[in-house]
Amino acid sequence: MSDLIPAPAVVTCASEPGGAAAIETFPARSTDLEGLAIRRLLPARGRRMLGAWCFLDHFGPVAFAAGQPMDVAPHPHIGLQTVSWLLEGEIRHDDSLGLTAVAVPGALNLMTAGRGIAHAERTPGTHTGRLHGVQLWIALPDAAREVAPAFEHHARLPELPVGDGRAHVFVGELGGLCSPARVFSPLVGAELAGENGARLRVPLRSDWEYGLVLLAGALELGGRPLAPEALHVLGGGRDELCLVARAPATRALLLGGEPFGEPVLMWWNFVARTHDELVAARDDWQAGRRFGEVAAYGGARLAAPPLAARVLPGR
Ligand code: MN
């Protein structure tokens, strides 16, 4: 799917007034799939990962009266976890373990691919006619890459008050609150929310790296408006993030974690360490081995694209 995303724009850098740690801004690469706007924020040119987070798409918001704005046929994953987090609407997940779950706002769908799983994601037949959310991948550390595939749905997740706003901690840890979702490295994924004028004070760990994406409304960081459709990587050494909401129903995504420290290879839907692993996973998918069938999905599955060139590790 990455071939649908045009080449990235120029990377810009900015500093907060007052000499605070630098903020690097990476504009999203955008595309439009049959009316559904998609912004890819990770990997960015010059920024491949944030902690173990290695992929981030922000899609919507879209309103629709008919059809399915999301319909991704069965496809395989290895070496990662997928996270679906919605602000509006619904996505139905079906996988090769035979599990089905509908993601809705405030609930988490987390799939651990480990050594291999297949799944499909689509707008369910019963829906609100809205769709807005994020799709994320977490790279599994080497010690966990071969774990058995698994799927979790969490209907309720901890909420941390952050000044006048709140943080929904869907994965990992923030301010001592932990999501019940199973992860394999120290990290956080949280949705920040505030009304117009709200001052948000978010506790951070000075030894982690963090990034921020505006999802709805408007935010100020260091007295300056935060650009939409961009990943803002916060400079290191921060123990707090101070934001001001400048619109009703403002929402932002906070990602962070311990620097991952392992070079990874990403190609198509696979996260690996060697080119040969990618070739083997592709061959297994094309031959109908390893990943199983997504029996609940009625249509054809996705074919792997050609793997022509040697995939190089990135950072
Ligand atoms: Mn997937």
Please give the distance, rounded to the nearest whole angstrom, from the Cα atom of residue 220 to the centre of ligand 1: 33
pLDDT at 6 > cutoff 60: no
Please give the distance, rounded to the nearest whole angstrom, from the Cα atom of residue 248 to the centre of ligand 1: 32
- 3-state SS, 70-115, equals CEEEEEEEECEEEEEEEEEECEEEEECCCCEEEECCCCEEEEECCC
**Spatial separation of the C-alpha atoms in residues 238 and 222, rounded to whole Å:** 13
Please give the distance, rounded to the nearest whole angstrom, from the Cα atom of residue 95 to the centre of ligand 1: 10
Please give the distance, rounded to the nearest whole angstrom, from the Cα atom of residue 301 to the centre of ligand 1: 12
Q: Quick one: pLDDT at residue 115?
A: 97
Please give the distance, rounded to the nearest whole angstrom, from the Cα atom of residue 209 to the centre of ligand 1: 25
Spatial CA neighbour of 259 closest among 240, 233, 278, 231: 233
> What pTM was computed for the model?
0.92
Look at 17-21, 109-113, 141-145, 229-233 and tell me which has the smallest mean pLDDT: 17-21
Q: Quick one: pLDDT at residue 314?
A: 58
* Residue 262 falls in which region: left (phi positive, over 0), alpha (psi -120 to 50) or beta: beta
109 Cβ neighbours under 8 A, 6+ residues apart: 82, 83, 84, 91, 93, 101, 103, 151, 152, 153
Q: Quick one: pLDDT at residue 209?
A: 96
* Phi, psi angles (nearest 5°) of residue 157: -135, 155
Q: Note the pLDDT tens digit of each residue in 234-265.
A: 988 899 999 999 999 999 999 999 999 999 99
Return the higher-pLDDT residue of 179 and 3.
Answer: 179
Average of per-residue pLDDT across 300-304: 97
Query: Coil, strand or helix: which one is 164?
Result: coil
Q: Note the pLDDT tens digit of each residue in 212-229.
A: 999 999 999 999 999 999
Please give the distance, rounded to the nearest whole angstrom, from the Cα atom of residue 82 to the centre of ligand 1: 7
Please give the distance, rounded to the nearest whole angstrom, from the Cα atom of residue 117 to the centre of ligand 1: 9
235 Cβ neighbours under 8 A, 6+ residues apart: 20, 21, 22, 23, 24
Average of per-residue pLDDT across 291-313: 90
Q: Quick one: pLDDT at residue 33?
A: 82
Please give the distance, rounded to the nearest whole angstrom, from the Cα atom of residue 118 to the centre of ligand 1: 8
Structure tokens at 38: 């998609």
pLDDT at 281 > cutoff 60: yes
Please give the distance, rounded to the nearest whole angstrom, from the Cα atom of residue 62 to the centre of ligand 1: 20
Is the CB of residue 231 less than 8 Å from the CB of residue 47?
A: yes
Q: Read off the amino acid at residue 265.
A: L
Report how far apart, in Å, the C-alpha atoms of 82 and of each of 76, 167, 220, 303, 307 are: 11, 20, 30, 19, 22
pLDDT at 13 > cutoff 70: no
Average of per-residue pLDDT across 127-138: 97
Spatial CA neighbour of 78 closest among 302, 309, 281: 281
Q: Read off the amino acid at residue 24.
A: E
pLDDT at 41 > cutoff 90: yes
Please give the distance, rounded to the nearest whole angstrom, from the Cα atom of residue 84 to the centre of ligand 1: 10
Q: Quick one: pLDDT at residue 32?
A: 87
Q: Of the segments 13-17, 119-123, 234-238, which one has the largest average pLDDT value?
A: 119-123
Residues in the chain: 315
Average of per-residue pLDDT across 38-51: 96
80 Cβ neighbours under 8 A, 6+ residues apart: 54, 55, 113, 137, 138, 139, 140, 270, 271
Structure tokens at 150: 């698994």
Q: Note the pLDDT tens digit of each residue in 153-198.
A: 999 999 999 999 999 999 999 999 999 999 999 999 999 999 999 9
Please give the distance, rounded to the nearest whole angstrom, from the Cα atom of residue 97 to the centre of ligand 1: 14
Average of per-residue pLDDT across 69-84: 97
pLDDT at 310 > cutoff 80: no
Antiparallel, parallel or unpaired: β 187-194 and 250-257: antiparallel
**Spatial separation of the C-alpha atoms in residues 55 and 231, rounded to whole Å:** 12
Please give the distance, rounded to the nearest whole angstrom, from the Cα atom of residue 227 to the centre of ligand 1: 28
Q: Quick one: pLDDT at residue 34?
A: 80
Is the CB of residue 216 less than 8 Å from the CB of residue 226?
A: no
Q: Quick one: pLDDT at residue 19?
A: 43
Q: Quick one: pLDDT at residue 162?
A: 98
Q: Give the Cα-Cα-Cα angle 114, 47, 28 (nearest 5 degrees).
A: 100
Model confidence at 18, in pLDDT bands (50, 70, 90)? Answer: very low
Query: Coil, strand or helix: which one is 217?
Result: coil
Q: Is the four-CA dihedral 41, 301, 86, 241 of positive or negative sign?
A: negative
Please give the distance, rounded to the nearest whole angstrom, from the Cα atom of residue 58 to the centre of ligand 1: 14
Query: How many other C-beta atoms can be found within 10 angstroms of the C-beta atom of residue 172?
Result: 24
Please give the distance, rounded to the nearest whole angstrom, from the Cα atom of residue 30 to the centre of ligand 1: 19
Look at 4-8, 63-67, 89-93, 254-258 and tell me which has the smallest mean pLDDT: 4-8
Q: What is the mean pLDDT of the chain?
A: 92
